[in-house]
């Protein structure tokens, strides 16, 4: 998101950064606030990507344990 905002800003010869909203006239409208929001959205990835990775690891462990339990239950049913 931040890369796209920066690319649009560069093409329109505007200043786009996290420091604040700058005017960016594109197609006759000011898109400075939108580009600023897109740029700041990149900061959320600093928090959300590690959380997502941790949750994925926990989910993978859960699925593996679930498959092990299911396999053991199938083995017990076959013995009967």
Residues 9-36 pLDDT 10s: 878 888 888 888 888 888 888 988 888 8
Cα–Cα distance measured from residue 42 to residue 6, given in angstroms and rounded to the nearest whole number = 11
Contact by Cβ (8 Å): 34, 12:
no
pLDDT at 12: 83
71: left (phi over 0), alpha (psi -120 to 50) or beta: alpha
The band of 47, judged by pLDDT with boundaries at 50, 70 and 90, is confident
């Amino acid at each position: 998101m931040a890369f796209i905002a920066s690319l649009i800003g560069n093409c329109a010869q505007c200043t786009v950064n996290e420091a604040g909203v700058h005017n960016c006239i594109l197609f006759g409208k000011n898109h400075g606030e939108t580009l600023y929001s897109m740029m700041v959205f990149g900061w959320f990835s600093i928090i959300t990507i590690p959380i997502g990775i941790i949750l994925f690891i926990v989910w993978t462990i859960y699925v593996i344990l679930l498959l092990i339990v299911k396999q053991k239950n199938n083995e017990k049913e076959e013995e009967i």
